[in-house]
Structure 1
Amino acid sequence: MIRKLTSFSTRHRWMTVVLWTVLGTALTFVGGAMMYDVTDSQAGDFLPKKYDSAVALRIAEEDFGTKPDANALTVLVARDDGGRLTPADQRHITGTAADLGRERVVGPKPEPLMKDHSQTPRVSPGAVAPDKSFRLLTVSLDGNPNDPGLQKVYKEFRDHAKGAFAKEDLRVGFTGGIASTVDDVDAEETTGKVGSALTMGLIVLLNVLVFRSVAAAIVPLIAVALIGGVASGAVVGAAKLFGIELDASTPSLISVVLLGIGIDYFLFLMFRFREQLRNRPDQDAREAAAETTGRVGSAITSAALTIVAAFATLGLASFGQFRVLGPAIAISVLVMLLASLTLMPALLAVFGRGMFWPARAWKKEHTGGVAARLGHAVSSRPLRYALASLVLLGALGAGAVGIKMSYDQQGTHETAAVRTAEQISRSLPAGVSDPHSVYVRSTDGTAIKASALGDMTRSLGKAEGVGEVGKPVLNKDRTAARVDLFLSVKSDTQKARDLVSGPVRETAARTAPEGTKAYVTGTAAVFADIATAVEKDLRLVFPVAALLIAVILFLLLRSLLAPVVLMIAVGLGFLATLGASTLLFQHGLDRPGVSFTLPLVLFLFVVALGTDYNILITDRIREEMEKPVTARHAVAEAVRHTAPAIATAGVVLAGSFASLAASPATQEIGFATGLGIILSSLVLSLVLVPALAAVLGRGLWWPRRSRRTPQHHDHSMNHQQHYSADHQQQYAAAPAHFGRHAQHAQHEKQGRI
């Protein structure tokens, strides 16, 4: 199937390239225009319905007609001179707020397929500071706060509000909701652009250094950009078709994953294509591209399917953000796999030997170099290198002892929104800009009396962590009630989550009127429930994903022992990466713990993506062991041929993920995934796995036995003679070094090792 697909794409190479170009251009536009229509930034919307905060959100929507708004922002109004607000100031604030609530904010003209976010904001009066130093207003806008169109509408409103209040010698500050989102986006704009530029520069620089060719550096980037556009459109289309809402972080994660694995797969093909052209200089480029992809295609397919399988297991998660992320990335990787078997070989067939122009050195095989020395060192002293790798991984993995999960927002920028929130918290409860609510619903359909809520209100006011409690509000038929409260600590901290999930919920449940049940919601309550859901999901997803990856490895390698070796290797890589991240962030930077999403993200990305490199080296080791050479000789040859591709691809993929570290919100994920990919490619795939293969020899493929046809045997013997002749001068140059390798080879032939 793979060979038929690649043969068709190389025969019709121009048609294949044109088709992907048209699809990429069209779907890039569609995906970009409609992506924000299928994303949701409200974490509470992804919680299973059974959780306490999720029930409260449903009561708010069903009985009160309100839904928590991610765009609701708090506006602080104060005098320019810092003095107390006078009665006249209060009247001006009330009047100006009313005017702002009547004026329509007109946004920029929308692009085709994009929404017009022009709207009239909802403005409501809020609390006044005890010392009369400021007054608060609450403003709400409709739309996705991550949508650039809505962000521009907010900026128009912000600038208009500043001008309106300035006429009365009043100043304003904005915090919470879309205000915080926009400030963070503006703060990260420069670092984001620099990070993207450095990643692209790294890819181009590495490819130029490795291939000495401009085409080899630029063509993969253009191809991956086209494929990414197709994947983006496919994900948006699937979300629209099935009515699925994606998490706001999904588009950026898809971009990073596709850039990394896309360049990886193209590099695997280019290295093998170059080797094919060197070994058969008279072969037509189209035939060489088809044969190359036919050989590497199975390894690439298996590598891609491990990623798909790993992320598909997220469909079993109860937390919606995980459950929708899995299919989105799986679809994207499947698109990349299809392109790897069609577009990439077609491009190789189109460019042919011109892909490596103007370099000429590649036409002659170099038997020396770093890769050859590494292969010889690992194969001649496998136990030493295996133990050294295990010690390194074990030392890093030990850092995971005592790991804690943190749900706090780490490394926030010092923005205007943050400074405004701090000013508010100095005079009012810290949670005033992010209130929580207790919803009470009748369990038997009887009406709730306002007087019956008095005991609950008084008890909540005395509960630990509660700074202020509002008056109860009943719905129209009096079957539900709402009691708003402000926490005395910031809502996005672990302390707030502990208070809400403990004293606040206990007090609400204990003092709820007879015949009713109380539910608490708000930022802290939602994330407390998310913590519980994630903990359960981790216990389910890890083993299922590991089992699926093991099955794929078994089908590829047709061995029982080899998949076990690879799974143990990637498992050690995962623990080492998690341990190193814990040492740095939890202990080194003295944070409460590592991000709660880090273990799952690491497991999926490091294990699934890291397995790519193990599959490539193992597949080449098996190919070399099919020849009539010693097992250690086969390992040395496999490392010599694949080390450049794996090392380059690993650095590129690590660089892609490391770009996430430029943002404080994704700093941990960027560092950890980058380190994990480096360990997977340079330590596991080039040292540990080859060393174990050299120790186990052909027993690695147990219970499978090697079968060789006479033709294959003759070809392999000729290859070995050719190899020995090419290396004769090298052996002479270093007789002691290479003599030990020859002695090991002779011993293995005699069955002594």
Structure 2
Amino acid sequence: MHRQIAGRLTGPVTKWIVLVAVIVIAGGLGSFAGKLIDVQNNETESWLPESAESTKAFEKLEAFQDPYDVGTTVVYYREDGLTDADLAAIEEHAGEIAKLDGVSDVLTPAAAQAAGVPAPFVSEDGKVAKLEFTLNFGDKLWEELPDLKPEIDEIIAIDGVESYLAGAGGQSADAATIFSSGDANLLLITLGVVILILLVTYRSPILWLLPIISAVVGLGASMGLLYFLAKHTGLTVNGQTQFILTVLVIGAGTDYALLLVARYREELRRHEDRHEAMAFALHRAAPAILASAATVVVGLLCLLFADLNSTAGMGPANAIGIAVTFVVMVTLLPALLVIFGRWVFWPFVPHFGTTEPTASGLWAKVGRGIAPRPRIVWVGTAAALAVLCLGFLRLDTSGIPSDEQYTQDQDSVTGQTILVEHGLVDASTPIQVVANADEAGRVVAAMEGVDGIAAPVEVASKDGIALIVAELRSDPYSDAAFDAVEDVRSAVHAVPGADALTTGMSAVTVDIMEASARDNKVIIPIVLGAVLLILIGLLRSVLSPVLLIGTVILSFGAALGISGLVFDLLYGREHTDPGFPLFAFVFLVALGIDYNIFLMTRVREEAAVHGTRRGSLIALSSTGGVITSAGLVLAATFAMLGTMPMTFTLQLGTTVALGVLLDTMIVRSVLVTALNLDLGGRIWWPSRLDRGEDAADEPPAAEEVKVPALD
């Protein structure tokens, strides 16, 4: 039945129908891919769960301020002290900035002094001054900022004075600028690396083009579909989701292509008609590709159980990308391959009747090396991976401070650092408390004893609710700021009848950290359970899936352990985002299990004919090269996240790349193969493959390890 369906997809006539249908549908969706950035929601507040204190406070804040108001600070610094001319220029800058669309409430040092603002706008040493204003572009802030920032930078320039756009608006401007240009650059760099790997793998000047075309079509269709879902269904898509989607789809799509092309090349040696060869290749390879894609999709959909909206939104968005890519890879790519014919493999064309070269290749030799003492091999390998896991103790998941958030200098970070070092506060990121107006005085009194904040001020009262604001004396992303938030919350919650709620940028970050910690504990077991059920259904076994899950967990731990050392000793950035372990886990488990699926489905296929031990060696020799190539592609694509100038992407890309390499080079080829050889048919317990196999089955000789003909 499956073979008939595969044959119909790639027949002499139907291949053209499939080609046209995919191009029309995917092309239509892909035409909207560029609009995905228009429906992104990158506001920090949108990432929060409804249960967070900051979320509840935002609802009451709407009575006092426009939710789209973003406080922004310009920082001026002269090493030998600002001159009167410098201060006069700052006053002139205020007038020019006030003329810009979306700008209001401009406040200069002179205006602040005249208004009696208690917080200084010029540092005591006279080296630093600040200018404040409010930005409001509604929900189009992230679209406007990449063009607005250069305009403001030009206005605030003074000869001999360093000037930086900082505060909440400056931080958003830097992030928006990175996201606006980073995704296109990331795609080009990723494609370049993948093309290079495919050229080396296929050693063909033409063949690499078909997987790349198919992967790009899959990415475009995915982004177009996500645009409609984000626009009409409320699906949350942000910049983080989009650039992860880029590397995930290109990497996974190329992996699927490698597996299919390898099986097609095998079948071309057995079948004279290329359409028949593709029918057999799809029949054999598509179930493994489907199982792989399903594992990734289910793993990502488990993120829907996350409290953090950004995490919950990333799951379905990337799951949709994988699902669309799977469809493209089992329709468009096979059609292209049979349309182009055998010559596309030139100069190494797989002619009918020739011998499959993997029978005596590197991985066949690896298998024969493991076979004599498999138990010693898997015990030793597992022990080595366990030792590597200890490096995890060097990871600090308490959050990334401002000065470590980017891998390149950013104006907002530099400006914030200068403010803190010279004793000025950033009024754009205060602690905000909303409370019952009748108890506002007692709330203010309770806050006055908290370290790390300026004197609290009741700003306004409306409809029985009071807004109280206190400026932070530290970096809003520092441990000192987080401690201040916790202390303020403890103080105001103790005021009877106040119903006080605390928010602000630092409070939002604290809530995100708490939600991330909860998600780590809840979602990781859910993902493991879901993947285990998929493996049980695929392999029709219990023992084998349990062991495979164990090997992937061990690989994940080792990847985190190595990463802990790399982040600290090599990158000098030991702090990680609280959600980092969860993201790394989901991608590594979902993607890492792929290679075990590719291997074990082939082992099961061969075990039915040759027994588990012989089948394991045949499967390793047959799939070793393609799985290694697939692992290199996926590792390289995720490593390209390091080209984005953000610490989070650098760390995530590094860990996933390390984990994938461990999976392909060590776990799948050595650890899993050694377990198969040691346990033999027992690996399939309780299925029928476990019955009747000779436990003393010897590994085959070199000349026997070859791919058998298929019925």
The 5-angstrom pairing of residues 403-442 of structure 1 reads: 403-409=395-401, 410-412=404-406, 413-440=408-435, 442=436
SS in 2 for 1:617: helix
Match of 1:674 among 648, 657, 661: 657
Match of 2:461 among 475, 490, 493: 475
Alpha-carbon distance in structure 2 between the residues aligned to 1:455 and 1:94: 38
SS in 1 for 2:280: helix
SS in 2 for 1:249: helix
Contact map agreement 1:78 1:172 (CA 8 A) in 2:
yes
Match of 2:391 among 373, 388, 399: 399
SS in 1 for 2:451: coil
Alpha-carbon distance in structure 1 between the residues aligned to 2:367 and 2:513: 46
Deviates more, 1:397-406 or 1:259-268: 397-406
Contact map agreement 1:308 1:334 (CA 8 A) in 2:
yes
Do the aligned partners of residues 194 and 372 (structure 1) sit closer, same or farther apart at CA in structure 2, a change above 3 Å counting?
Answer: farther
Alpha-carbon distance in structure 2 between the residues aligned to 1:516 and 1:481: 10
Residue 262 of structure 1 is matched in structure 2 by 253
Residue 571 of structure 1 is matched in structure 2 by 553
Deviation at 1:93, TM superposition (A): 5.1
Q: Report the residue type matching 1:705 in the other structure.
A: R
Q: Report the residue type matching 1:654 in the other structure.
A: A
Deviation at 1:679, TM superposition (A): 1.0
The answer to whether residue 479 in structure 2 is matched with residue 494 in structure 1 is yes
Do the aligned partners of residues 654 and 462 (structure 1) sit closer, same or farther apart at CA in structure 2, a change above 3 Å counting?
Answer: same
Deviation at 1:2, TM superposition (A): 5.2
Contact map agreement 1:595 1:668 (CA 8 A) in 2:
no
Alpha-carbon distance in structure 1 between the residues aligned to 2:163 and 2:532: 58
Residue 534 of structure 1 is matched in structure 2 by 516
Residue 318 of structure 1 is matched in structure 2 by 307
Contact map agreement 1:187 1:415 (CA 8 A) in 2:
no
* Structure 1 residues 152-204: Cα deviation after superposition (integer angstroms, max 9, x where no partner): 13433443x337x88xx998531133433444676899998886555434322
Deviation at 1:553, TM superposition (A): 0.8
Match of 1:387 among 376, 379, 387: 379
Do the aligned partners of residues 190 and 258 (structure 1) sit closer, same or farther apart at CA in structure 2, a change above 3 Å counting?
Answer: closer
Do the aligned partners of residues 200 and 596 (structure 1) sit closer, same or farther apart at CA in structure 2, a change above 3 Å counting?
Answer: same
Match of 1:647 among 610, 628, 646: 628
Residue 307 of structure 1 is matched in structure 2 by 296
SS in 1 for 2:471: strand
Deviation at 1:432, TM superposition (A): 3.8
Alpha-carbon distance in structure 2 between the residues aligned to 1:474 and 1:178: 23
Do the aligned partners of residues 523 and 277 (structure 1) sit closer, same or farther apart at CA in structure 2, a change above 3 Å counting?
Answer: same
The answer to whether residue 322 in structure 2 is matched with residue 333 in structure 1 is yes
Alpha-carbon distance in structure 2 between the residues aligned to 1:170 and 1:299: 62
The total of aligned residue pairs comes to 676
Do the aligned partners of residues 377 and 80 (structure 1) sit closer, same or farther apart at CA in structure 2, a change above 3 Å counting?
Answer: closer
Contact map agreement 1:582 1:593 (CA 8 A) in 2:
no
Alpha-carbon distance in structure 2 between the residues aligned to 1:121 and 1:190: 24
Do the aligned partners of residues 492 and 639 (structure 1) sit closer, same or farther apart at CA in structure 2, a change above 3 Å counting?
Answer: same
Deviation at 1:707, TM superposition (A): 11
Alpha-carbon distance in structure 2 between the residues aligned to 1:386 and 1:348: 39
The answer to whether residue 102 in structure 2 is matched with residue 100 in structure 1 is no
The 5-angstrom pairing of residues 38-437 of structure 1 reads: 38-61=39-62, 63-67=63-67, 69=69, 72-76=71-75, 82-85=81-84, 97-98=94-95, 100-101=97-98, 103-104=99-100, 119-125=101-107, 128-131=121-124, 133-142=128-137, 147=142, 149-159=144-154, 161-162=155-156, 172-183=163-174, 199-280=190-271, 282=272, 284-360=273-349, 363-366=354-357, 367-401=359-393, 403-409=395-401, 410-412=404-406, 413-437=408-432
Alpha-carbon distance in structure 1 between the residues aligned to 2:68 and 2:482: 18
Deviation at 1:537, TM superposition (A): 1.7
SS in 1 for 2:462: coil
Alpha-carbon distance in structure 1 between the residues aligned to 2:173 and 2:130: 22
Q: Report the residue type matching 1:73 in the other structure.
A: T
Alpha-carbon distance in structure 1 between the residues aligned to 2:612 and 2:456: 76
Alpha-carbon distance in structure 2 between the residues aligned to 1:224 and 1:171: 45
Match of 1:505 among 468, 483, 489: 489
Match of 2:670 among 654, 662, 687: 687
* Structure 1 residues 492-532: Cα deviation after superposition (integer angstroms, max 9, x where no partner): 1233212312x22122233x4x5322111122211211222
Alpha-carbon distance in structure 1 between the residues aligned to 2:669 and 2:235: 41
Q: Normalising by structure 2, report the TM-score.
A: 0.87
SS in 1 for 2:258: helix
Deviation at 1:65, TM superposition (A): 3.9
* Structure 1 residues 362-398: Cα deviation after superposition (integer angstroms, max 9, x where no partner): 7542232212211222233322321232122111112
Alpha-carbon distance in structure 1 between the residues aligned to 2:261 and 2:50: 49
Do the aligned partners of residues 184 and 551 (structure 1) sit closer, same or farther apart at CA in structure 2, a change above 3 Å counting?
Answer: closer
Alpha-carbon distance in structure 2 between the residues aligned to 1:189 and 1:232: 15
Higher alpha-carbon Rg: 1
Contact map agreement 2:71 2:132 (CA 8 A) in 1:
no
SS in 1 for 2:196: helix
Deviation at 1:361, TM superposition (A): 7.0
Contact map agreement 2:53 2:501 (CA 8 A) in 1:
yes
Deviates more, 1:415-424 or 1:696-705: 415-424
Alpha-carbon distance in structure 2 between the residues aligned to 1:96 and 1:359: 67
Alpha-carbon distance in structure 2 between the residues aligned to 1:192 and 1:591: 23
Alpha-carbon distance in structure 2 between the residues aligned to 1:408 and 1:273: 47
Alpha-carbon distance in structure 2 between the residues aligned to 1:25 and 1:177: 39
Do the aligned partners of residues 516 and 41 (structure 1) sit closer, same or farther apart at CA in structure 2, a change above 3 Å counting?
Answer: same
Deviation at 1:630, TM superposition (A): 4.8
Do the aligned partners of residues 705 and 515 (structure 1) sit closer, same or farther apart at CA in structure 2, a change above 3 Å counting?
Answer: closer
Q: Report the residue type matching 1:16 in the other structure.
A: V
Alpha-carbon distance in structure 2 between the residues aligned to 1:653 and 1:592: 25
Do the aligned partners of residues 287 and 575 (structure 1) sit closer, same or farther apart at CA in structure 2, a change above 3 Å counting?
Answer: same
Q: Report the residue type matching 2:38 in the other structure.
A: D
The answer to whether residue 601 in structure 2 is matched with residue 619 in structure 1 is yes
Q: Report the residue type matching 2:477 in the other structure.
A: D
Contact map agreement 1:531 1:596 (CA 8 A) in 2:
yes
Residue 470 of structure 2 is matched in structure 1 by 485
Contact map agreement 1:464 1:504 (CA 8 A) in 2:
no
* Structure 1 residues 605-658: Cα deviation after superposition (integer angstroms, max 9, x where no partner): 11111111101110111111111x353322211111000010000010000011
Alpha-carbon distance in structure 2 between the residues aligned to 1:353 and 1:419: 58
Alpha-carbon distance in structure 2 between the residues aligned to 1:149 and 1:138: 16
Quick one: percent identity of the two aligned structures? 28
Contact map agreement 2:71 2:429 (CA 8 A) in 1:
no
Deviation at 1:60, TM superposition (A): 0.8
Do the aligned partners of residues 136 and 508 (structure 1) sit closer, same or farther apart at CA in structure 2, a change above 3 Å counting?
Answer: farther
Deviation at 1:667, TM superposition (A): 1.3
SS in 2 for 1:546: helix
Match of 1:702 among 685, 704, 707: 685
Deviation at 1:72, TM superposition (A): 3.7
Q: Normalising by structure 1, report the TM-score.
A: 0.83
Alpha-carbon distance in structure 1 between the residues aligned to 2:27 and 2:328: 15
Which sections of structure 2, spanning at least 5 residues, go unmatched?
A: 109-119, 692-699, 707-711
Deviation at 1:694, TM superposition (A): 1.0
